[in-house]
């Protein structure tokens, strides 16, 4: 049975954007879906997010798929780095490492424990069967040149969706059928079309 974790980003929660819609669709397909809540912006740190995920660790196995949005994607990279097992796949939506576009630098300050470090890319790649990186050509926070900071070390091309903004409700993303199709492809064939 496939287990899917949907991980929200900074200033986010599991009930925003397309997360509940995706959870409903995947549950209808027979997946077990977890949408943990992580502390943000108060008490937001990599250590506190890892503590929040700890109760779910027993559900992570070779049939697990991670889906992360924004900082949730960065967090998943840290989770993969620490695993002692390989998961089926990971979908990083508007993923990044390092600083994002942030005129007041507020996001970069609260994201620093997630981003300002050296990632163990070989371990991350070894602990995941398939990566899909989904970005927009007009993301106000994560332009494509920032997304490339994840794409390059993973050796995975960006899947670019035009005019999708930050894939959030403000960009019109309360449903995400393209992502659902990609997850279905991975579950049914082990490949993403």
* Tens-digit pLDDT profile for residues 33-89: 999 999 999 999 999 999 999 999 999 999 999 999 999 999 999 999 999 999 999
pTM: 0.96
Tell me the average pLDDT of the chain: 96
Decide: 3 and 59 in contact? Cβ < 8 Å.
yes
The pLDDT of residue 91: 98
**Domain ranges within the chain, ordered by starting residue:** 1-7+29-67+77-136+150-171+181-193
Task: State residue 59 phi and psi, 5-degree precision.
Answer: -95, -5
The pLDDT of residue 48: 98
Residues of the chain with pLDDT under 70: 193
Yes or no: domain 1-7+29-67+77-136+150-171+181-193 corresponds to CATH 3.90.226.10: no
The pLDDT of residue 164: 98
């Amino acid at each position: 049975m496939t287990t899917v974790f949907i991980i929200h980003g900074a200033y986010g929660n599991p009930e925003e954007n397309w997360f509940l819609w995706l959870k409903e669709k995947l549950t209808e397909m027979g997946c077990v879906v977890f949408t943990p809540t992580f502390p943000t912006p108060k008490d937001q740190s990599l250590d506190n997010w890892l503590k929040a995920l700890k109760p779910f660790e027993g559900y992570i196995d070779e049939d697990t798929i991670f889906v992360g949005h924004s900082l949730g994607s960065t967090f998943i990279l840290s989770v993969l780095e620490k695993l002692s097992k390989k998961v089926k796949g990971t979908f990083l939506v508007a993923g990044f490492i390092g600083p994002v576009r942030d005129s007041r630098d507020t996001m970069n300050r609260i994201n620093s424990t997630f981003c300002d470090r050296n990632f163990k890319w070989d371990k991350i790649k070894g602990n995941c069967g398939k990566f899909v990186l989904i970005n927009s050509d007009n993301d106000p926070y994560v332009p494509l040149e920032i997304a490339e900071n994840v794409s390059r070390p993973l050796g995975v091309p960006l899947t670019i969706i035009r005019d999708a903004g930050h894939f959030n409700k403000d960009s019109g993303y309360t449903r995400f059928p393209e992502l659902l199709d990609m997850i279905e492809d991975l579950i049914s064939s082990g490949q993403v079309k």
